[in-house]
């Protein structure tokens, strides 16, 4: 049984800070918890602090241990100087700009100041403690250690580190530290226990899948399969099912064989609704083979017509990367400028001085981007523009800096950021894994097409050229909107079918009627299968009322009035046999829920509240709203995998890698530590 400290989350959750120090504190804190597990018990004394005195409440930040206030400068801004290195910072309130600097930038300085770090070891306070009798459960402490290994990406031999053993032995010699093999066994027990729990949670309705392939630092390929579904409490659940090494070749045939084997293992091969994949040729081939495989066993709805969904984030990335080719020279200068500043501590300090001299007031740091991720490219532009004056100053004081942009290039960069911002916001919106995204797809793709049509008429030649290139890619991938994801808009009570009519009419009034009818026909087709399945299930057993009606017809002693009443009841029952269509029409005919951009709307809560009114339609909505429109959830596992399978731990067995990654996901969800965001490393702006 899991200890109380660890609780599985449905979608995401809070994680503590990683690192060995945090893990050690975590293990020691957890030893003081009582767990009802009968096992080997040893004695320990509770800690009693000698000469403990109640400390008075502190009213100031700890940073003032390291800083001294030096008074007010010529601009009326109060300043403070570091006691250890002499670095000077603004504090308090700026009377001109009305900005309040606070102490965050001072805290950041404390964390990076080498003089402070070197002196902090000698400043650690010491206190003697004594131990009284207390019970320690060896099985419990092993379980806590195993969960710490999982959560903090620690190696299996962590408990065999000499200094860790020496430290634990000093704290309590009676604690038996497990060997590496024992830790592996304990982690495996957690993995198997959580796997069985997940099998029970996977709902009886259909599930949606995402899959992706990743190459580790060891050049080995790993395949990740993630499941998405709405559980019985109407919460969206996304969990990694498998993360396993896949030997080459990574062809469609091999990928399909591997995925189908995973589906059989989990018992969901007859419950698949859709699969979302990146736009790769191997994926196209794989989904064709998998669809035929599932079609043979008659497990797909509408013969697999709505089985394959292309990742919207991946397509959007291809569209925008095409447009960014127009601005390569400007982007090159920005990248080189950021690399230059981050190249040494001396340059960073010099740049901080330039920021202060320029009077720049921003909390956004300089960012580095990943060339294959366009959203990080947007962020590097956005952050660099904030420091335009600082880069101009750096060019004057540092003759080695050669990549400063001209005034015209900075203005061009501002226009590009304004142009790209809506696309960046759309990418973030559709990349969520903790909320439904299929109902957002239609509106967001429609907005993008409208923006591109607008920018095709822009007076700026660069913007117009970018829009032309992007519109060409848009036509290639999104000329015909994904019909299945248009169903998500229909099942959003704020939008429904009227919103599709509105959008198609805005784009082209001449073709709007045909496009709406096409979506509606396919919607009715898929919904019809749900209605048939629902009626077959609910109508398998004859009701008592039907039996009574049969008897009433056979009773010649009944009056004509009674027989007429019974005929009327039968007529009502026959009418109810078409309840699938009537309930659908009732939903579509009802007025839309008020749309408020300022408030979050939980579409799943709506269907949970109306489940009894629309029993068949709610099952349909549950499956459609489970569809992820990106593969972000599967990609999130790769950042974890990169820490679990480093070049220093390349010998970790594939089954052990899967145990660590899956168990962490099942216990803590898709939670990233700060180190996960390597693609947008920031230079924190401590230059207030």
Tell me what pLDDT residue 8 has. 36
CB 646 within 8 A of CB 222: no
Euclidean distance between the first and the last CA atom of the chain, given in angstroms as a whole number = 50
- Tens digits of residue pLDDT in 332-350: 899 899 999 988 999 999 9
The tokens for 350 are 């010099």
Helix ranges (DSSP H) in 480-559: 483-490, 496-507, 509-538, 544-553
626 three-state secondary structure: coil
**Between 49 and 219, residue with greater pLDDT:** 219
Helix ranges (DSSP H) in 359-406: 374-386, 388-397
**Residues constituting the chain:** 688
Span of 257-271, 307-321, 354-368 with lowest mean pLDDT: 354-368
What CA–CA distance (Å, rounded) separates 601 from 478? 27
What CA–CA distance (Å, rounded) separates 463 from 457? 9
What CA–CA distance (Å, rounded) separates 121 from 66? 14
Residue 677 has pLDDT above 70, yes or no: no
What 8-state DSSP symbol labels residue 470?
Answer: H
Residue 56 has pLDDT above 50, yes or no: no
- Give this prediction's pTM: 0.73
Select from 344, 345, 387, 366 the least CA-distant residue to 87. Answer: 345
CB 420 within 8 A of CB 320: yes
- Tens digits of residue pLDDT in 533-551: 876 555 444 433 333 333 3
CB 638 within 8 A of CB 671: no
For residue 42, what are the contacts with CB-CB under 8 A and spacing of at least 6? 135, 136, 138, 174, 175
Span of 89-93, 118-122, 260-264, 638-642 with lowest mean pLDDT: 638-642
pLDDT-derived band at 173, boundaries 50, 70, 90: confident
For 173-231, the three-class secondary structure string (H helix, E strand, C coil) is: CCCCCCCHHHHHHHHHHHHHHHHHHHHHHCCCCCEEEEEEEEECCCCCEEEEEEEEEEC
What CA–CA distance (Å, rounded) separates 333 from 320? 19
- Bridge partners of residue 208, in order along the sequence: 228, 274
Residue 237 has pLDDT above 70, yes or no: yes
CB 646 within 8 A of CB 217: yes
Give the percent of the chain with pLDDT over 70.
75
Select from 225, 423, 222, 444 the least CA-distant residue to 318. Answer: 423
- Tens digits of residue pLDDT in 399-453: 999 999 999 999 998 999 999 999 998 888 887 777 788 999 999 999 999 999 9
> If 0-12 CB within 10 Å is exposed, 13-18 middle and 19+ buried, where does residue 230 land?
buried
For residue 404, what are the contacts with CB-CB under 8 A and spacing of at least 6? 333, 337, 391, 392, 394, 395
CB 422 within 8 A of CB 393: no
What CA–CA distance (Å, rounded) separates 146 from 168? 16
Tell me what pLDDT residue 549 has. 36
For residue 574, what are the contacts with CB-CB under 8 A and spacing of at least 6? none
**Between 46 and 409, residue with greater pLDDT:** 409
Q: What are phi and psi of 165, to 5 degrees?
A: -65, -40
Tell me what pLDDT residue 360 has. 86
- Tens digits of residue pLDDT in 287-296: 999 999 999 9
- Tens digits of residue pLDDT in 587-618: 999 999 987 764 678 999 999 999 999 999 99
What CA–CA distance (Å, rounded) separates 642 from 216? 7
| Mean pLDDT, range 222-250, rounded to an integer | 92
What CA–CA distance (Å, rounded) separates 587 from 86? 69
Q: Are strands 41-43 and 135-137 parallel, antiparallel or unpaired?
A: antiparallel
Q: Which residue has the tokens 């594939």?
A: 654
What CA–CA distance (Å, rounded) separates 485 from 439? 7
The tokens for 627 are 């569809």
Q: Which helix (H) or strand (E) holds 243?
A: strand 236-245
DSSP class per residue in 266-277: HT-TT-EEEEEE
81-89, Cβ contacts within 8 angstroms, sequence gap of 24 or more: 82/109, 82/113, 82/115, 82/116, 84/113, 84/115, 84/116, 84/119, 85/113, 85/114, 85/115, 85/116, 87/113, 89/686, 89/688
Tell me what pLDDT residue 369 has. 73
Tell me what pLDDT residue 563 has. 60
For residue 568, what are the contacts with CB-CB under 8 A and spacing of at least 6? none
What 8-state DSSP symbol labels residue 489?
Answer: H
Tell me what pLDDT residue 67 has. 87
The tokens for 183 are 């830790």
């Amino acid at each position: 049984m899991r200890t109380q400290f660890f609780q599985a989350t449905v979608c995401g959750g809070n994680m503590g800070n990683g690192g060995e120090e945090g893990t050690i504190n975590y293990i020691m804190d957890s030893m003081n918890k009582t767990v009802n597990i009968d096992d080997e018990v040893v004695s320990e004394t509770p800690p009693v602090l000698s000469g403990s005195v109640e400390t008075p409440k502190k009213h100031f930040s700890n940073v003032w241990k390291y800083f001294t206030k030096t008074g007010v400068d010529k601009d009326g801004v109060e300043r403070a100087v570091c006691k250890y290195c002499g670095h000077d910072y603004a504090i308090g309130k700026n009377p001109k700009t009305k900005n309040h600097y606070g102490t965050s930038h001072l805290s950041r300085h404390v964390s990076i100041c080498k003089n402070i770090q070197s002196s902090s070891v000698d400043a650690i306070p010491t206190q003697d403690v004594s131990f009284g009798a207390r019970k320690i459960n060896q099985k419990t402490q092993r379980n806590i250690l195993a969960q710490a290994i999982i959560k903090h990406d620690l190696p299996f031999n962590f408990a065999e580190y000499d200094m860790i053993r020496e430290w634990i032995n000093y704290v309590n010699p009676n604690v038996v530290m497990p060997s590496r093999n024992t830790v592996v066994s304990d982690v495996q027990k957690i993995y198997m226990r959580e796997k069985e729990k997940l099998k029970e949670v996977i709902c009886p309705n259909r599930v949606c899948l995402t899959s992706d392939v990743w190459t580790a630092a060891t050049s080995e390929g790993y395949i990740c399969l993630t499941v998405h579904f709405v559980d019985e409490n109407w919460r969206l659940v996304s969990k990694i099912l498998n993360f396993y090494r896949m030997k080459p070749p990574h062809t469609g045939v091999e990928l399909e064989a591997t995925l189908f084997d995973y589906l059989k293992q989990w018992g969901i091969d007859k419950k698949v609704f859709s699969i979302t994949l990146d736009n790769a040729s191997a994926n196209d081939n794989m989904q064709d083979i998998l669809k035929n495989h599932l079609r043979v066993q008659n497990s797909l709805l509408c013969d697999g017509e709505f089985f394959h969904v292309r990742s919207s984030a991946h397509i959007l990335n291809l569209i925008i990367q095409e447009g960014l080719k127009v601005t390569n020279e400007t982007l090159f200068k920005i990248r080189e400028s950021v690399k230059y500043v981050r190249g040494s501590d001396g340059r960073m300090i010099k740049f901080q001085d330039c920021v202060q001299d320029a009077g720049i007031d921003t909390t956004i740091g300089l960012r580095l981007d990943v060339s294959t991720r366009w959203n990080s490219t947007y962020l590097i532009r956005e952050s660099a523009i904030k420091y335009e004056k600082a880069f101009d100053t750096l060019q004057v004081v540092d003759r080695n800096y050669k990549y400063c942009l001209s005034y015209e290039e900075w203005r061009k960069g501002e226009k590009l950021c304004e142009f790209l911002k809506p696309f960046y916001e759309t990418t973030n919106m559709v990349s969520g894994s903790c909320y439904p995204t299929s109902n957002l797809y239609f509106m967001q793709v429609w907005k993008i097409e409208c923006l591109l049509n607008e920018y095709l008429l822009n007076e700026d030649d660069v913007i117009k050229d970018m829009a032309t290139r992007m519109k060409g890619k848009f036509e290639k991938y999104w000329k015909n909107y994904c019909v299945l994801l248009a169903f998500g808009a229909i099942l959003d009570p704020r939008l429904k079918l009227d919103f599709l009519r509105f959008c198609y009419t805005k784009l082209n009034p001449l073709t709007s009627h045909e496009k709406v009818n096409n979506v509606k026909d396919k919607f009715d087709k898929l919904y019809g299968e749900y209605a048939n399945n629902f009626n077959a299930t609910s109508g398998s057993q004859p009701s008592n009322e039907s039996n009574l009606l049969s008897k009433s017809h056979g009773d010649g002693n009944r009056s004509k009035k009674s027989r007429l009443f019974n005929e009327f009841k039968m007529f009502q029952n026959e009418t109810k046999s078409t309840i699938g269509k009537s309930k659908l029409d009732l939903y579509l005919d009802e007025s839309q829920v008020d749309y408020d951009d300022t408030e979050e709307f939980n579409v799943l809560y709506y269907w949970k509240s109306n489940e009894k009114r629309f029993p068949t339609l709610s099952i349909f909505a549950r499956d459609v709203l489970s569809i992820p429109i990106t593969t972000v959830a599967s990609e999130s596992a790769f950042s974890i995998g990169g820490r679990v399978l480093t070049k220093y731990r390349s010998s970790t067995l594939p089954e052990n890698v899967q145990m660590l990654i899956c168990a962490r996901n099942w216990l803590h969800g898709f939670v990233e530590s700060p180190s996960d965001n390597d693609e947008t490393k920031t230079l924190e702006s401590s230059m207030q």
